[in-house]
Amino acid sequence: MILTLAGGVGAARMLAGLMLVVPHDELTAIVNVGDDLELHGLRISPDLDTVTYTLAGAINPDTGWGLVDESWQARAMLEQYGGVSWFGLGDRDLGTHLYRTHRLGQGADLAQVTAEITRAWGLDVRLIPVTCDRLRTMVTLAEDDAVHPESPDAPALPAGSEISFQEYFVQRHHGVPVSAVRFDGAEDTTPTPGVLEAIASARTIVVAPSNPLVSIAPLMAVPGVADAVAARREQVVAVSPIVAGAALKGPADRLMLELGHEPSVVGVARRYREFASTLIIDEADAALATAVEAEGMRCVVAPTIMSSPDRSAALARVVLEVDR
Amino acid sequence: MILTLAGGVGAARMLAGLMLVVPHDELTAIVNVGDDLELHGLRISPDLDTVTYTLAGAINPDTGWGLVDESWQARAMLEQYGGVSWFGLGDRDLGTHLYRTHRLGQGADLAQVTAEITRAWGLDVRLIPVTCDRLRTMVTLAEDDAVHPESPDAPALPAGSEISFQEYFVQRHHGVPVSAVRFDGAEDTTPTPGVLEAIASARTIVVAPSNPLVSIAPLMAVPGVADAVAARREQVVAVSPIVAGAALKGPADRLMLELGHEPSVVGVARRYREFASTLIIDEADAALATAVEAEGMRCVVAPTIMSSPDRSAALARVVLEVDR
């Protein structure tokens, strides 16, 4: 079994690539839930949904999140009421949140609901939320943040304010410097049943090219997960989400810098070397391979930019060959 | 000020008629909340929404509930998941429920949220939920209810089962006989601030042609309301929702019969005579005017079927003339 540690978009593309080269029922992903939120009474799991929709071929290709063929009637009404509309809830996407919220209200846990949702999309890949307990990634602002013209519903906040990940990422367009990241509630969570077993038994563990600080780190913050992954270090292959000093998507590079890490494949290696034995870096960073190896990791240079299914599949093959 | 005691569709049409003949800022309605429900984590107030959408000219003309120009993408997704989809939540309508749920979650009360929603629709009429506390109309089944082909998600239930109003009305298409109606939580509610004052100061109190047992009765079950209305009996004018022994819409006639009331304008008079001095009955029931008066009410015969705005306005004029 090939196990992927997954955030959102980058992980979804990595998994889509793996699906092209590995039988689907041999694929499992442990997915971040630190980005989850409650909004309008609904429970929203953005990373689980991004992975699900992508693997189902139903992701909105224009945005990289949400569903294709989406409409926005509910949001238009919310805007008419002057309600909170910064988090983009499409009408089809709302169906997912309504279903999830209803089932959780009936006493199902997030793992069960996720299995139901992925089954309804016809997916054979197993997606497991890292925990069914409450875990919330919180971000502390390094500077005062005034009201932005592009996000008028975000109140001005002083430096030192702590906000949820989605308030940082979506509402404030990850446009404000950050001084700390914290995984609220992590110490009280337990891994979803099956998570530690999957880590212990996987043939290869892939750390997807997701944000090390806000996608992979919350997975590791669930008690028992980091130790279990570290115990399989020889089988752990990470793909750098940083290419030529920049994140392909999102604020990973800036977050690395703001939180005292080098925003490069070397900085990624320093974050991952305790639990991963191999780092795959992009050809653009080939000159840094020696520096990565100096951090104690094997380094594989390959094209890592998954701009097409073919490229995702090629990267998946590289990942799987590392361990052979 | 003209005060209307209101359920859903019949009350909405009555109020739309009153709007054509009375300055809007002189109109107030106290609206039933016994039909409210929580579904998928959302708080839904069907009567408030039906009245709001109707007065805003945005009601779906085909159904009498929900919004015009509606789409059903969220519901289609819910159905894909095998989720609960018996309560018709259109995409636009969902915007209302999302807004309401969010504001209630922020600590606003239902009256405040209702004022915000009606203002957003440009309404000058004041709609007040009879209480901001939890009040739920519950219905006891008189007979075993098997699974209906047209509502496969409704479980079979034995006689004596108590279900919520919407499970009876929408999920089971009000197709099963009823042995009792109960207003769960009513004794612990208080009237919304302004309700008793409005009753005390209204020039005329109109009991809209709503279901006496499940629309008007829950209003009266809020402690203090029935006494306050009875104290204004001379100013209270009721419009019969029963015409020629039948309800124009919904199960009022069957409920009257099943719960031991005569399903006629005379039965309505017996329900209302304690707190209303006048009953307006349809021309089809003219022969029963004497029987109504024998119950101790003045009886006015008029066309009561509000099949057009003109007819609604004409009925409104009749209502207002009673008191002159």
For residue A213, what are its two tokens? 């600080």
pTM: 0.93
Here the CATH number for the domain that contains residue B212 is 3.40.50.10680
- Of the listed ranges A263-272, A278-287, B139-148, the one predicted with least confidence: B139-148
Whether the Cβ atoms of residue B275 and residue B233 lie closer than 8 Å to each other: yes
For residue A300, what are its two tokens? 């594989």
Residue B282 and residue B178 share a domain:
no
Residue A174 and residue A25 share a domain:
no
pLDDT in tens, A227-255: 999 999 999 999 999 999 999 888 999 99
Complex-level ipTM: 0.90
Residue A170 and residue A294 share a domain:
no
Average pLDDT score, chain A: 95
Residue B72 and residue B16 share a domain:
yes
Residue A112 lies in a domain: no
A40: chain B residues, CB-CB within 8 Å: 42, 98-99, 101-102, 105
pLDDT for the residue B84: 86
**Are A92 and B76 within 8 A, CB to CB?**
yes
Residue A222 and residue A171 share a domain:
no
Number of domains chain B is built from: 2
Look at residues B158, B184, B210 and tell me which one is the last residue of a structural domain: B184
pLDDT for the residue A133: 98
CA quadruple B84, B85, B88, B89: dihedral positive or negative?
A: positive
Could you tell me which residues are beta bridge partners of residue A207? A5, A238
- For chain B, what percentages of helix, strand and coil (3-state, to nearest 5) are there? 40, 20, 40
pLDDT category at A323 given cuts 50, 70, 90 is low
pLDDT for the residue B153: 77
Minimum CA–CA partner of B91 in chain A = A74
CB atoms within 10 A of CB B48: 27
Whether the Cβ atoms of residue A144 and residue A154 lie closer than 8 Å to each other: no
Residue B273 and residue B218 share a domain:
yes
Strands (E), B174-288: 178-184, 204-207, 236-239, 242-243, 246-247, 278-282
Residue B141 and residue B126 share a domain:
no
pLDDT for the residue A64: 85
Residue A96 lies in a domain: no
The beta-carbon neighbor of A77 closest among B43, B84, B92 is B92
Query: Can you give the pLDDT of all 324 residues of chain B as single tens digits?
Result: 999 999 999 999 999 999 999 999 999 999 999 999 999 999 999 999 999 999 999 999 888 899 999 999 999 999 999 998 889 899 999 999 999 999 999 999 999 999 999 999 999 999 999 999 999 999 999 999 987 777 777 889 999 999 999 999 999 988 899 999 999 999 999 999 999 999 999 999 999 999 999 999 999 999 999 999 999 999 999 999 999 999 988 899 999 999 999 999 999 999 999 999 999 999 999 999 999 999 999 999 999 999 999 999 999 999 999 954
The beta-carbon neighbor of B81 closest among A73, A90, A120 is A120
Measured CA to CA, the distance from residue A71 to residue A89 in angstroms comes to: 9
Distance, in angstroms, between B113 CA and closest chain A CA? 10
pLDDT category at A155 given cuts 50, 70, 90 is confident
Whether the Cβ atoms of residue A161 and residue A140 lie closer than 8 Å to each other: yes
Residue B208 and residue B120 share a domain:
yes
Minimum CA–CA partner of A98 in chain B = B40
Q: Tell me which residue range forms the domain holding B314.
A: 2-133+190-255+263-322
Minimum CA–CA partner of B100 in chain A = A40
Residue A85 lies in a domain: no
pLDDT for the residue B323: 58
The answer to whether B42 contacts chain A (CB < 8 Å) is: yes
pLDDT category at A152 given cuts 50, 70, 90 is confident
Residue A213 and residue A170 share a domain:
no
Look at residues B184, B209, B224 and tell me which one is the last residue of a structural domain: B184
Residue A229 lies in a domain: yes
Residue A312 and residue A207 share a domain:
yes
Residue B162 and residue B200 share a domain:
no
Residue A264 and residue A129 share a domain:
yes
Measured CA to CA, the distance from residue B178 to residue B94 in angstroms comes to: 30
B101: chain A residues, CB-CB within 8 Å: 40-41
